[in-house]
Chains A and B, each alone.
Chain A
Amino acid sequence: MDYILQQSLNALQLGSIYALIALGYTMVYGILTMINFAHGDLFMVGAFFCFIVATFLKLSFIPTLLISMIGVALLGVAIERVAYRPLRQAPRVSAVITALGVGILLESVMLVIFPYPQSVPTLLPNITWTIGGVTISLLQVIIICLSIGLMLLLDFIVRRTMVGMAMRAISWDKVIVPLMGVPLNLIISVTFALGTSLGAAAGVMYSQAFPVIDPYMGVLIGWKAFISAVVGGIGNIRGAMIGGFILGAVEIMVVAFFPSTYRDFVAFTLLLVLLIFRPYGILGQPRPQKV
């Protein structure tokens, strides 16, 4: 029983990270029907921001987190402006290939600056509590609470504010949005800023949990978060959160009961099977065909 509880806690921690990253994929898809394949690498840049700020500026956790989120948000907005916006009318596949290229560029630039893996300074005191047979660390508590807090904040923005309303309107029909007096490009920039800053937050927390980072760390995690978004129903914000937690849970449970080399194989197989039964994902809907 304790073992299950312990593993559930670990699953929650991993799931939070996937969910935060998955949100970035789903938000961009929601407004531009485009998969931002550079998003996993923006998560990586977030981790490196954490490394740089913590190592050279020696700031504590909260300022490091904020600086990383803002830095990556600006980078995300710049990428949209320079690389994606000119292709908005182009076939979607061009935009997707550009996104892959941007991702590779981010990895390469980072590799030039940091040819070797780096260790990220620990920013949180190493406190743990043992309740029954279950051990919880301060870091775990912070990762889980902060992620859930950020997700609730995002949910609030999307559902309750004018900007969120505009984002939902864009995802329904972006041609009509300017006729409402809503500046389309501004809302798209805000969406990129929100999505990439969540990815950066995930990067910072991940680099605290697994403190050795390298420029390719975003590749596999990015794919997994992307799959979480698809499983939840790409374009659906709550779906991305659910998908992230499901993937986290599946992975941890596989490792708990099978050899750890089975992890990705079993996890991905399960998700693919799920998609056979729910091709649009858990909360996804087939898009209404526009006439």
Chain B
Amino acid sequence: MSENNHPLLLVENLVISYGNIQAVRGISFEVREGEIVTLIGSNGAGKSSTLRGISGLIPYKGSISYRGRDLRGVDAAKIVGLGIAQVPEGRGIFGSLTVFENLKLATWQRKDKPEVNRDYERVFSIFPRLKERLNQLSGTLSGGEQQMLAVGRALMSRGQMMLLDEPSMGLAPVLVREIFRVLQEINQSGTTVLLVEQNANMALRVASRGYVLETGAITLSGTGSELLGNPQVMEAYLGG
């Protein structure tokens, strides 16, 4: 952990606009190696836009750097190669591809073939259901299974940092708990996590630190437990 003094991901004065609409208004935050950091906020707060900026999918102002490297102008596919994997909002699985093809596609940037095979085994041990459904078209999976596949893909691309966009969305509580348990497990085995959620309660429980995003600006930040105990957060996101 020689990099402990430098954040793995550093976002400074990030501004993202769609035409005249400013979705993200100059936010700054950091994620350190080994952390689970959560960005909570209600619908339309700018969470997905922030992740799209980090992954290089949309233009932005301000700066984003990963391991000290400025990501501006780096192609989105290359960013995956640098080690940032995103599990997108709504899972984004390719329904016309089989489960196995979805996983395999995510290894595009990898050159370490023998390790790829080991990672399949790892994904299957975390999500045995995916192994049972390897040759099934992924569009026919249930919502929970699709979310597992989306996380599995991110593991296959070997991100040292995983960005997750509302993984709990649309899932039954038992599945949400399962996904969050897996996230903690993945984090413990060395992957840094940036978790975007509306489900503030669950997110803050697993997070080391969190930021509250409101209409494109960060209004609060602190450790997971600080935010859980904060009356403002309680009122706005945890149902009083």
Contact = CB atoms under 8 A, between A and B. Distances in A.
Interface of A: 162, 165-166, 168-169, 171-173, 175-176, 178-184, 288, 291
A180 B106 contact: yes
Contact of B77 (A165, A172, A182): A182
B80 A178 contact: yes
Contacts of B153: 180
B77 A173 contact: no
B22 interface: no
B96 interface: yes
Contacts of A183: 75, 77
Contact of A181 (B57, B95, B157): B157
B108 A168 contact: no
Nearest to A169: B94
Residue with the highest number of chain B CB atoms closer than 10 Å, among A171, A173, A179? A179
Given A178-B57, A179-B76, A168 B88 contact: no
Contacts, number: 69
A166 B96 CA distance: 11
A183 B80 CA distance: 10
B80 A172 contact: no
A180 B105 contact: yes
A156 to B, nearest CB: 15
Contacts of A162: 104-105, 108
Interface in B83-100: 85-86, 88, 90, 92, 94-97
30 contacts: A162-B105, A162-B108, A165-B101, A166-B108, A168-B94, A168-B96, A168-B97, A168-B101, A169-B94, A172-B94, A173-B92, A176-B94, A178-B56, A178-B80, A179-B76, A179-B85, A179-B86, A179-B88, A179-B92, A180-B80, A181-B77, A181-B80, A181-B81, A181-B109, A181-B110, A181-B157, A182-B77, A183-B75, A183-B77, A184-B77
A291 to B, nearest CB: 7
Contact of B57 (A175, A180, A288): A175
Q: Which 4 A-B pairs have the closest CB atoms?
A: A181-B80, A178-B76, A181-B109, A176-B92
A216 B101 CA distance: 42
A164 to B, nearest CB: 10
A194 B88 CA distance: 30
Interface of B: 55-57, 75-77, 80-81, 85-86, 88, 90, 92, 94-97, 101, 104-110, 139, 153, 157
Contacts of A180: 77, 80, 105-106, 108, 153, 157
B81 A291 contact: no
B77 A176 contact: no
A173 B106 contact: no
A176 B157 CA distance: 14
Residue with the highest number of chain A CB atoms closer than 10 Å, among B77, B104, B107, B109? B77
A247 to B, nearest CB: 26
Given A288-B95, A291-B90, A179 B104 contact: no
A165 B97 contact: yes
A172 B108 contact: no
Given A168-B97, A172-B96, A182 B105 contact: yes
Contacts of B86: 179
B102 to A, nearest CB: 8
Nearest to B163: A179
A169 B81 CA distance: 18
Contacts of B56: 178
Contacts of A176: 88, 92, 94
A7 B85 CA distance: 57
Given A179-B86, A184-B77, A171 B108 contact: no
A124 B86 CA distance: 55
A217 B101 CA distance: 41
Given A165-B101, A175-B57, A176-B88, A182 B108 contact: yes
Nearest to A290: B90
Contacts of B92: 173, 175-176, 179
B108 A179 contact: no
A181 B77 CA distance: 4
Given A172-B95, A172-B97, A181 B104 contact: no
A171 B76 contact: no
A162 B103 CA distance: 11
A291 B90 CA distance: 9
Nearest to A186: B77
Contact of B96 (A171, A175, A179, A181): A171
A180 B57 CA distance: 12
Contacts of B57: 175, 178-179
Contacts of A172: 94-97
A291 B107 CA distance: 27
Contacts of A169: 94, 97, 105
Contacts of A173: 92, 94
